[in-house]
Amino acid sequence: MFMMVMRIIFLFTAMGVNMEVYTRTARFFKHDFEENGSLERVTLFLNLASDPTIERIITPRLALTTAEYYAYQTEKHVLRSTSAREEVPGRRGYPGYMYTDLSTIYERAGRVEGRNGSITQIPILTMPNDDITHPIPDLTGYITEGQIFIDRQLHNRQIYPPINVLPSLSRLMKSAVGEGFTRRDHPEVSNQLYANYAMGKDVAAMKAVVGEDAISDEDKLLLEFLEKFEKHFISQGLYSNFNGQWLTFLGLYESRTIEESLDIAWSLLRIFPREQLTRISEDIIKEFYPRTSTKNRNTIVEDTKNNYDDIMSESPLSQEQNLIDT
């Protein structure tokens, strides 16, 4: 395990950041890497908003060239995390070759035959006005094999991680779930959760117009599912404010396996009568619908609160150290 860790190289690339973000980002990552002893295995490329445009254009290519050297010459495994802030020159005046240009960056990730190293890219895009149809995130979605959409509204409602499942996708998921990979009910449960969540969002929008008295009992079940899905399934951390400190930023997260997530999913699907689970086959329903969850989420949250209370009863110096350890 130690030898495997030492073979990993991390490249962090940020483009178009302002000086304040640059200072905060550089300080955070340098301190974090120094703390865990991995600074000697990190390469940072930071491009400021005030830097020349041509420098911003070549920054990702410089980072990829560096990654290819580490991966294919020194046979390291490179994780490349990129943060890009796109400026819109005029009314979406992007050139017609933008798709090709982006693909030459993203498609340099992967493996090369005859070499033991690899490159993994995790591009992070900030969208102007949270607009997913903006040319950069839109074209990126066509090129990559999936995307995770971080929703500002979920974040403001203290759902952590604030992942909006509707625009999020994975084109490789179907090849890595089901019997022999995760659990045989995984694909159908995923489809049912997605469908019910989408319908719940539609009902919530309709309720805002016509009022709760005008919606049916079936729609009320969808609203109940919507609330509990975000609170108990999407949320995987204790996002509460104790003594003015956000626990999610102190490392107090819920540790959950795929099996436990599927059990939580079934506990949510039991809100509906069996006949309303139209995207799940009858044999899967017979096997899993009567089950009870192997892990109670309320117990997880309570244990985390108790752990935090124990820490906060100590001296300030011990509090800081124990929160970091936790």
- pLDDT tens-digit series, residues 30-83: 777 777 777 777 888 888 878 887 788 888 888 888 888 888 887 777 665 655
Assess contact for 20 and 50: CB atoms under 8 A.
Answer: no
Residue 150 lies in a domain: no
Residue 165 lies in a domain: no
Measuring CA to CA, which residue among 230, 207, 232 is closest to residue 219? Answer: 207
Q: What's the number of domains the chain is made of?
A: 2
Instruction: Please say which residue of 144, 173, 205 terminates a domain.
Output: 144
Query: What is the spatial distance between Cα 82 and Cα 44, in angstroms, rounded to a whole number?
Result: 10
Query: Average pLDDT per run of 10 along the chain, which is 326 residues long?
Result: 52 76 67 74 80 82 86 72 51 68 85 85 82 83 86 87 90 89 94 95 91 88 93 75 44 76 93 92 92 52 48 49 49
Give me the CATH number covering residue 6. 3.40.50.300
Query: What is the spatial distance between Cα 274 and Cα 296, in angstroms, rounded to a whole number?
Result: 22
Residue 98 lies in a domain: yes
Does residue 130 sit in the same domain as residue 240?
Answer: no
Residue 30 lies in a domain: yes
Buried b (16+ CB within 10 A) or exposed e, 14-40: bbbbeeebbeebeeebeeebeeeeeee
Q: Counting every residue, how long is the chain? A: 326
pLDDT at 93: 60
Does residue 123 sit in the same domain as residue 205?
Answer: no
Instruction: Please say which residue of 83, 114, 144 terminates a domain.
Output: 144
Does residue 227 sit in the same domain as residue 98?
Answer: no
pLDDT at 243: 44
Residue 27 lies in a domain: yes
3-state SS, residue 79: strand
CB atoms within 10 A of CB 43: 15
Does residue 45 sit in the same domain as residue 134?
Answer: yes
Does residue 21 sit in the same domain as residue 95?
Answer: yes
Assess contact for 268 and 228: CB atoms under 8 A.
Answer: yes
What range defines the domain where residue 250 resides?
186-325
Cis peptide before 161 (omega within 30 of 0): yes
User: Tokens 């974090």 belong to which residue?
Assistant: 32
67 Cβ neighbours under 8 A, 6+ residues apart: 9, 11, 78, 80, 108, 119
Give me the CATH number covering residue 293. 1.10.1140
Does residue 30 sit in the same domain as residue 124?
Answer: yes
Residue 180 lies in a domain: no
Query: What is the spatial distance between Cα 270 and Cα 277, in angstroms, rounded to a whole number?
Result: 9
The whole-model pTM stands at 0.65
Burial of 88 (0-12, 13-18, 19+ CB in 10 A): middle
Residue 17 lies in a domain: yes
Does residue 205 sit in the same domain as residue 137?
Answer: no
Does residue 195 sit in the same domain as residue 314?
Answer: yes
Burial of 319 (0-12, 13-18, 19+ CB in 10 A): middle
Does residue 196 sit in the same domain as residue 139?
Answer: no
Instruction: Please say which residue of 144, 178, 195 terminates a domain.
Output: 144
User: Tokens 């009902």 belong to which residue?
Assistant: 203
